[in-house]
Amino acid sequence: MIAEIGHFTLILALAVAIAQMAVPMWGAHVRDARLMAFGDSAAVTQFGLLIVSFLALTHAFVTSDFSVLNVVDNSHSEKPLIYRISGVWGNHEGSMLLWVLILGLFGSAVAVFGRNLPATLRANVLGVQASIAVAFLLFMLFTSNPFERVDPAPFDGRGLNPILQDPALAFHPPFLYAGYVGFSMAFSFAVAALIEGRIDAAWARWVRPWTLAAWMCLTLGIAMGSWWAYYELGWGGWWFWDPVENASFMPWLAGTALLHSALVMEKREALKVWTILLAILTFSLSLMGAFLVRSGVLTSVHAFAVDPDRGIVILSIMMFFTGGALALFAWRAGALRQGGLFAPISREGGLVLNNVLLSVSCATVLVGTLYPLALEGITGEKISVGPPFFNMTFIPLMLPLLFAMPFGPLLAWKRGDVRGVAQRLAFAAGFAVLFTIIVAAMTGPGPWLAPICAALGLFVLFGAVTDLLSRARFGDVSQAEFLRRVVSLPRSAYGTALAHAGIGIMVLGIVGTSAYQTEKIVALKPGERAEVAGYELLFQGIQPTKGPNYSEQIATFEVTRNGAPVTTLLPSKRLYNAPPQPTTEAGIYASWTGDLYVALGDEQPSGGVALRLYFHPLVRLIWIGAVIMFIGGAVSLSDRRLRVGAPQRARSRPSAVPAE
Amino acid sequence: MLLWVVLSVLTAGVVGLLLRGYRRGEADVAGAAKADVAVYADQLQQIDLDQSRGLISAAEAESARAEVGRRLLSRAAVVDGPVSAGGQGSSSERILGAAAIAIPMLALALYVSLGSPGLPNLPHEGRTREDAARNQVDAMVARVEERLRAAPEDGNGWDVIAPIYLRMERYGQAAEAFANANRLLGETPKRLAGFAQAEILANNGIVNANAKVAAERLLSAEPGRVDARMWLALANEQDGQFDKALSDYRGLLAAPQMSPAMKEAIEVRISAVEKLARGEAVPPPGPRLAPGTAPEGSVEIPSSPADQQAMIEGMVARLAARLQTDGKDPAGWVQLMRSYSVLGRKDDAAKALTDARRALGADAAALEQVNKAAAEMGIEGAAKGEDKK
């Protein structure tokens, strides 16, 4: 019965969403307050229904109700509880339910927290948001229904792909979807504003908290996916430029650009056309990600639904929303008034540079991702656009971006004093270079680009600190006054500095692990030793054990360094019962300087076991940096003005450099 | 029924929420101008704050204030249309009423076509309770297995577990257990019958030499046992000794204590064997090719196509092996060739023809029969007497 309640509430949510799409927008058109207010109650009700539906499906998974087809296909009674829960979204139908649930969450958040929005704007935003929900609910109910039943029910299920049975993967999709779907808010705001025909600085302030929330979640979601790939796939890589990864990275790049251009729009009413366009494109890129992984175009662990028919439906949804929004945009864009003027060297100029570089890099990733697919579709020829392409195109775009990043927050609006800013940043730059020289001297020769990138990462990190210090007027005022100022700086200023520092830290991790990684492939028999990056590993043998739903071969390594014991590593290979599929669990020892990483390979005819040994210097900084970026976003979101209710705002309060 | 009650209450609640919500929302209409002005006022306030903190100079603050002020003024110049509250009997009332009716109707219509209101929850836990009996058997088997691992020469253990394996359709293990029990405790008719049945079922219905020996001993211990006679008849049939098989089957038909089902199964066998003896093709075996591996039951043909295939191939291999040692059987050769060509093994069919010609070399009539059948089937072997190079 519970599954049927879930099915019914999903259908009811569709009916409510249809009403929510039509009634408030009509109300905004005829300026009727009651019809517009219907949008609020519909959005909250729709979200409530989707929660019930989602809980019903979760119930079916937790109790292993194999009369629900989706549970049969993706769960197994032996699976531990956490993976029975995460199995709800570890498949196509369930993940679509999570998708619409988050869509409903954002819609109801607008209804609840958006009291400060003009009634017509709110009504239109909710209407547009509901139209997206309608499209996806129809798609679910008619092609991917999670509540389809089977009678008679099989006695047990087919199980969840074992490499998805992992804690990081349990939380990766919810964050990722919160990011993708969160950008639908920016889209809905853009379309609503285009419908109303009035786009101004106030609009930018209203859209920014939503964009920021989406950006935060997407950042963390991508980082979790990367962390998972690092320790689960057994190759020690953290990013593969895989089309699926790119599908999540493109909205991130576009969303980051949007976050910054909305800042200019709020402060100066400039870049209006561009910001609206970015809002539309960012969400379109999110939809494209959904299309790529669900259409069968790609083969990957994410390719839940390898069903071209469903793919065509998602493609149509994407075409409809992108095409419709762009048509509206083309119709209205001419009417937008030009905003404030600014000199090339200014805060605005810096943000434009940021936008240009981010958009071009996003386009680069887009080409690298779609070109091989298009080529294969047209000529049947398979080519692989791998890391070399992206390293050659993406990195050169990132270098100037990183270099310019510390300058941006320090430049004044309208007309900046680049020389003054450079003086302020001299310390940061000097530190970065000095530090790099010292470290380079200690580590010995590496790729020529590595020290440059490391210096840039440090420059960004120290630049963020400089930004905070100069806002608190360090050196200009007494120490007590300085401390008072540090404490009273707006949270958005801390948010900016944290997010930028997070980037700098991440760059250091990327440089460290890409340029200075040590890799060894050896075959060892029990009792033999191997050495990597100063660590001695003694292979003690392999023990078979059993987990809740798998059998496991655990290898034991005693790790020593200069004779002193360090740790015991237990890399393993698992064979899951249902479906019977092997996975690798790497043995990882995390130290301050980097990760010692051991992955088991196949047994050799000679009696030994093949092993991949790595030392990844600083690799953890990549994910630590992402977490710091997430925290930066959260700090910004918690800024006073968001809670005051009236005008909401998110990121750094634009403040200029003191003219001295 | 309960489901429909829950769904009705749910729907009523949703409609109530939607309508109640809009009534409460009436008072809370933020005018567009009001909202915009609030933002600009906040911006002005922020400029003051920044200036007092010394973050921007007086001149910069002044120009920023002027800019925000211009925005305020231009916003004030735009006159928004009036917002109506939507009074009684207005069109908004009608629209909302229509939505309140359309939403449940649409949901109900869709649910009736998509849902399965008749299906109850089926949590896995409850279902394992249903199968508690099965679990008990599993647990008992596990206990006995453990004991037998510790003491493999415990005949009683094998004797207990053998019939259980048979019922659990674990035929290979059942045959082994019966064999062990026979060896350790001595042969009894019950154990011999169990062994033969398990061995035949484990081999997809083929009566192999072990099963045949057991059946013979069973028959000598209890002369006239129907199941044993049946297996021996089946063995003769599978060996291609159709005359013997036919007389066995006919003898069985005359035996007392035969159930109608058994008789029917035997008649099917008889007509099949008659055709086989004439060298004709027999239609693919039906679900009950081997009648009665036990007096009260019958052997089911394996249901999966792969198992059936394995069974057929096993029979063919046996026939081929017998003809290698006893080649003076033209009907057997014809059947072998036919089997190979049905199975699509053309090379084997051709080889069988060559072998048949060599084996029957002296018997002109038999050679004629084989050659004729080969010509019908389109099989071409090497010329008579010519060995394969």
A574-583 tens-digit pLDDT: 888 767 778 8
pLDDT in tens, A385-410: 778 888 888 888 999 999 999 988 88
Indicate if the pLDDT at residue A52 is higher than 90: yes
pLDDT score of A656: 36
For the ranges A74-83, A254-263, A526-535, A563-572, the one whose mean pLDDT is highest: A254-263
Find out whether A211 and A255 touch, Cβ atoms under 8 Å: yes
| CA distance linking residue B135 with residue B130, whole number of Å | 10
Residue B286 pLDDT grade (very low, low, confident, very high; cuts 50, 70, 90): very low
Q: State the best of A63, A65, A77, A121 to mutate against chain B, taking most chain B CBs within 10 Å.
A: A65
pLDDT score of A358: 92
Instruction: Verify whether the Cβ–Cβ distance B86 to A153 is below 8 Å.
Output: no
Name the percent of chain A lying above pLDDT 70: 93
Instruction: Verify whether the Cβ–Cβ distance B57 to A658 is below 8 Å.
Output: yes
pLDDT score of A311: 79
3-state SS, A408-447, equals HHHCCCCCCCHHHHHHHHHHHHHHHHHHHHHHHHHHCCCC
Residue A46 pLDDT grade (very low, low, confident, very high; cuts 50, 70, 90): very high
Q: Minimum mean pLDDT among A88-102, A343-357, B296-310: which range?
A: B296-310
Cα angle for residues A46, A182, A145 (degrees, 5° grid): 50
Please give the structure tokens belonging to residue B17. 């929420």
Instruction: Verify whether the Cβ–Cβ distance A11 to B107 is below 8 Å.
Output: yes
Instruction: Verify whether the Cβ–Cβ distance A38 to B36 is below 8 Å.
Output: no
Of the two residues A255 and B269, the one the predictor is more confident about is: A255
Indicate if the pLDDT at residue B280 is higher than 80: no
pLDDT score of B129: 53
Indicate if the pLDDT at residue A15 is higher than 90: yes
Instruction: Verify whether the Cβ–Cβ distance B116 to A471 is below 8 Å.
Output: no
Q: Which residues on chain B are in Cβ contact (under 8 Å) with A11?
A: 107, 110-111, 114-115
ipTM: 0.80
Of B22, B60, B121, the CB nearest to A3: B121
Indicate if the pLDDT at residue A12 is higher than 90: yes
pLDDT score of A362: 92
- What single string gives the DSSP state of each residue in A331-372? HHHTTPPP-----SSSHHHHHHHHHHHHHHHHHHHHHHHHHH
pLDDT score of A126: 93
Residue A187 pLDDT grade (very low, low, confident, very high; cuts 50, 70, 90): very high
Residue A104 pLDDT grade (very low, low, confident, very high; cuts 50, 70, 90): very high
> Average pLDDT for residues A59-74, to the nearest whole number?
87
pLDDT score of A150: 81
Residue of A nearest to B47 (CA): A655
pLDDT score of A624: 93
Indicate if the pLDDT at residue B81 is higher than 70: no
Find out whether A618 and A518 touch, Cβ atoms under 8 Å: no
pLDDT score of A117: 82
Name the percent of chain B lying above pLDDT 70: 78
Q: Which residues on chain B are in Cβ contact (under 8 Å) with A658?
A: 54-57
Instruction: Verify whether the Cβ–Cβ distance A32 to B56 is below 8 Å.
Output: no
For the ranges A208-217, A429-438, B325-334, the one whose mean pLDDT is highest: A208-217
Of B64, B78, B84, the CB nearest to A31: B84
Instruction: Verify whether the Cβ–Cβ distance A269 to B71 is below 8 Å.
Output: yes
pLDDT score of B130: 53
Other C-beta atoms closer than 10 Å to the C-beta of B352 total: 29
Cα angle for residues B165, B265, B246 (degrees, 5° grid): 110
Q: How close B110 gets to chain A, by Cα (Å)?
A: 7
Residue A281 pLDDT grade (very low, low, confident, very high; cuts 50, 70, 90): very high
Instruction: Verify whether the Cβ–Cβ distance B119 to A149 is below 8 Å.
Output: yes
Name the percent of chain B lying above pLDDT 90: 8
> Average pLDDT for residues A70-79, to the nearest whole number?
83
Q: How close B54 gets to chain A, by Cα (Å)?
A: 7
- Phi then psi dihedrals of residue A149, to 5 deg: -105, 160
Residue B84 pLDDT grade (very low, low, confident, very high; cuts 50, 70, 90): low
In the A/B pair of chains, how many CB contacts fall below 8 A?
231
**Residue ranges of chain B that CATH labels 1.25.40.10:** 135-277
| CA distance linking residue A185 with residue A103, whole number of Å | 9
Indicate if the pLDDT at residue A428 is higher than 80: yes
Indicate if the pLDDT at residue B271 is higher than 80: yes
Cα angle for residues A590, A402, A173 (degrees, 5° grid): 55
| CA distance linking residue B229 with residue B252, whole number of Å | 7
Of A67, A471, A647, the CB nearest to B119: A67
Find out whether B133 and B152 touch, Cβ atoms under 8 Å: no
Domain B135-277 has CATH 1.10.760.10: no
pLDDT score of B302: 45
> Average pLDDT for residues A80-102, to the nearest whole number?
88
pLDDT in tens, B26-76: 444 556 677 777 778 888 888 887 777 777 778 888 888 888 888 888 777
| CA distance linking residue A397 with residue B143, whole number of Å | 69
> Average pLDDT for residues A599-615, to the nearest whole number?
83
> Which domains are present in chain A?
1-160 (no CATH), 166-336 (1.20.120), 407-516+622-644 (no CATH), 518-620 (no CATH)
Find out whether A598 and A587 touch, Cβ atoms under 8 Å: yes
Of B26, B63, B117, the CB nearest to A4: B117
Of the two residues A15 and B165, the one the predictor is more confident about is: A15
Find out whether B239 and B322 touch, Cβ atoms under 8 Å: yes
pLDDT in tens, A441-470: 777 777 777 888 888 999 999 999 988 888
pLDDT score of B296: 35
pLDDT score of A132: 94
pLDDT score of B2: 86
- Phi then psi dihedrals of residue A577, to 5 deg: -75, -45
Q: Minimum mean pLDDT among A5-14, A324-333, B13-22: which range?
A: B13-22
pLDDT score of B382: 56
Q: Which residues on chain B are in Cβ contact (under 8 Å) with A32?
A: 83-84, 86, 90-92
> Average pLDDT for residues A222-246, to the nearest whole number?
82
pLDDT score of A497: 92
Sequence-distant (6+) residues with CB within 8 A of B1 are none
pLDDT, chain B, mean: 77
pLDDT in tens, A331-377: 887 777 666 778 778 888 888 899 999 999 999 999 888 888 788 77
